[in-house]
């Protein structure tokens, strides 16, 4: 259930195209609401149409004004409450001509249906108790998923895994609240010291559980949205060649002339099911060329925005002062080193000074491709080390992360009040706030304006 904080108007019957717009083999039009079956009967020109629920039947669609045949379509009726939205739902699987689909939708609007807003079908499912808010958000994430990892994370949330992890915590919170409320109501029954210590330990354990779950957000967000990786280094060390090698195609211009790359160049690659936005940047050096200076400035911005920086070093040369300056500039960034040109006779394992704080060093040859697979693995390692498929569930939503973190802070506040032997009413403030915040994750106490923001990100027809 959504809770009293949410009021959703669901009296109208809505219609929308549920398949992507454009020419296709099949286009699915979906109706939801009390008049869905009545509108379907009018569209079929058959007021006696009484389909068996959940069975597909081939019927002729007709213009309700002229009686003209529009299409032969597959009609499926889902009877409330056993449908996606919990209301009567009719789905029309038509031929995928955009003109035809628009005309059928116009006919349904003529009959009295209303055009669905983005995410309105899922919002109705939420309001009718067919799913909770985390599952509704998972539907959006599943549709938007670009990789196998993102699909897996969304599918686990759609199956209710986040809700099932939060429910025991909420149940435990209620068990803690009951004796505190009792002690507050019956003043003569002060909470025994032993009981207070026990409650303090339980609160500490609950706040830590929430913190651990919230800490998975960094990995979860990156695995869902992608990892931003920037290549950096002095001019002519082979950044563009490594960029092309990782992409598997000649995307960046490569020459022997230092400073060829004047601007940042980005491409998305898929590594083990994880999207990586790879950015080739201009070489960092002092220059009087205003265009090159602008490129270097954009490089510095790209490095600041990156989740990981790959510093490319020429393995045929000793570490220079310019290399150390790059290391010093990245003191607050995560970075690894790609030691390039291992195919040349003059290549050697160079010595890195104290300025280098790289997490890893991979030997590569952009020319032959040697070491590039190892470099791909090294790029992923910081983000996948604790996020394998058989490990704990990952938080992928910034909204969930924020609410979990705030709930943990509220529990810590109540824990401190208990330790200070404060009155029960002060302890209860944090407990009720934590309970409210956890309820906001699953939709039990989510304000309507927050729901509007969430469902505005959905596609129409879902």
- CATH number of the domain to which 147 belongs: 1.20.120.430
CA distances from 9 to 120, 124, 379 (A): 10, 9, 48
Residues 176 and 62 in one domain: no
- CATH number of the domain to which 64 belongs: 3.30.1360.120
Residues 24 and 108 in one domain: yes
Question: Contact, 150 vs 156, CB < 8 A?
Answer: no
| pLDDT tens for each residue of 36-85 | 999 999 999 999 999 999 999 999 999 998 999 999 999 999 999 999 99
Residues 96 and 155 in one domain: no
Question: Contact, 242 vs 235, CB < 8 A?
Answer: no
What pLDDT, on the 0 to 100 scale, is given for residue 8? Answer: 46
How many helices (H) does the chain have, and how many strands (E)? 15, 12
- CATH number of the domain to which 362 belongs: 3.40.50.300
Closest alpha carbon to 407 in 172, 63, 180: 172
Mean pLDDT of 417-432: 87
Residue 193: pLDDT above 80?
Answer: no
Kindly state whether residue 401 falls inside one of the protein's structural domains. Answer: yes
Residues 404 and 284 in one domain: no
Residues 261 and 324 in one domain: yes
Residue 361, number of CB atoms within 10 A of its CB: 16
- Domain boundary, last residue among 75, 100, 132: 132
Task: Quickly list H helices, 69-132.
Answer: 98-111, 120-127
Q: What is the chain's mean pLDDT, rounded? A: 83
Kindly state whether residue 452 falls inside one of the protein's structural domains. Answer: no
Kindly state whether residue 461 falls inside one of the protein's structural domains. Answer: no
pTM (predicted TM-score): 0.73
Query: 185 CB contacts (<8 Å, ≥6 apart)?
Result: none
Kindly state whether residue 373 falls inside one of the protein's structural domains. Answer: yes
Domain count, the chain: 3
Kindly state whether residue 447 falls inside one of the protein's structural domains. Answer: no
| pLDDT tens for each residue of 197-210 | 888 899 999 999 99
Kindly state whether residue 459 falls inside one of the protein's structural domains. Answer: no
Residues 252 and 364 in one domain: yes
Domain holding 295, by residue range, is: 225-384
Residues 159 and 119 in one domain: no
Kindly state whether residue 323 falls inside one of the protein's structural domains. Answer: yes
What pLDDT, on the 0 to 100 scale, is given for residue 261? Answer: 44
Residues 153 and 269 in one domain: no
Residues 246 and 318 in one domain: yes
Kindly state whether residue 8 falls inside one of the protein's structural domains. Answer: no
Q: Burial of 389 by CB count in 10 Å (0-12 exposed, 13-18 middle, 19+ buried)?
A: exposed
Q: Burial of 199 by CB count in 10 Å (0-12 exposed, 13-18 middle, 19+ buried)?
A: buried
> Own/partner pairs for 323-327, CB < 8 Å, 24+ apart?
323/233, 323/234, 324/353, 324/355, 324/356, 325/284, 326/232, 326/233, 326/234, 326/284, 327/352, 327/353, 327/355, 327/356, 327/357, 327/358
Residue 304, number of CB atoms within 10 A of its CB: 13
């Amino acid at each position: 259930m959504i809770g009293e904080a949410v009021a959703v108007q669901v009296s109208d019957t809505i219609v929308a195209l549920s398949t992507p717009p454009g020419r296709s083999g099949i286009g699915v039009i979906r109706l939801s609401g009390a008049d869905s079956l009545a509108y379907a009967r009018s569209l079929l020109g058959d007021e006696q149409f009484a389909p068996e629920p959940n069975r597909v039947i081939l019927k002729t669609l007709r213009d309700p004004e002229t009686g003209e045949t529009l299409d032969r379509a597959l009609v499926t009726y889902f009877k409330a409450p056993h449908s996606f939205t919990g209301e009567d739902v009719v789905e029309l699987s038509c031929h995928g001509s955009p003109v035809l689909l628009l005309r059928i939708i116009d006919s349904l609007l003529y009959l009295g249906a209303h055009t669905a807003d983005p995410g309105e079908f899922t919002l109705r499912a939420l309001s009718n108790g067919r799913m909770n808010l985390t599952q509704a958000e998972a539907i959006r994430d599943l549709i938007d998923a670009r990789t196998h990892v993102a699909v897996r994370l969304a599918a686990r949330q759609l199956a209710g895994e986040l809700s099932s992890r939060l429910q025991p915590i909420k149940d435990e919170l209620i068990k803690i609240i009951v004796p505190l409320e009792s002690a507050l109501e019956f003043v003569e029954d002060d909470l025994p010291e032993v009981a207070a210590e026990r409650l303090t330990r339980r609160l500490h354990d609950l706040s830590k559980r929430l913190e651990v779950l919230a800490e998975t957000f960094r990995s979860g967000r990156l695995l869902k949205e992608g990892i931003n990786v920037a290549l950096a280094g002095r001019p002519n060390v082979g950044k563009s060649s490594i960029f092309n090698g990782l992409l598997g195609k000649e995307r960046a211009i490569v020459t022997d002339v230092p400073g060829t790359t004047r601007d940042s160049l980005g491409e998305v690659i898929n590594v083990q099911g994880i999207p990586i936005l790879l950015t080739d940047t201009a070489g960092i050096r002092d220059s009087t060329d205003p265009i090159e200076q602008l490129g270097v400035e954009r490089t510095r911005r790209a490095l600041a925005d990156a989740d990981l920086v790959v510093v490319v070093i020429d393995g045929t040369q000793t570490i220079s002062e310019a290399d150390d300056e790059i290391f010093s500039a990245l003191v607050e960034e995560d970075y690894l080193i790609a030691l390039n040109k291992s195919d040349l006779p003059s290549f050697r394992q160079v010595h890195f000074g104290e300025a280098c704080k790289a997490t890893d060093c991979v030997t590569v040859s952009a020319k032959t491709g040697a070491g590039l697979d190892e470099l791909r693995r090294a790029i992923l390692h910081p983000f996948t080390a604790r996020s394998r498929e058989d490990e704990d569930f990952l938080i992928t939503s910034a909204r969930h992360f924020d609410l979990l973190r705030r709930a943990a802070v509220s529990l810590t506040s109540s824990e401190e009040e208990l330790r200070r032997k404060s009155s029960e009413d002060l302890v209860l403030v944090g407990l009720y706030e934590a309970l409210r915040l956890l309820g906001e994750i699953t939709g039990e106490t989510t304000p309507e304006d927050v729901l509007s923001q969430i469902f505005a990100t959905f596609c129409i027809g879902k």
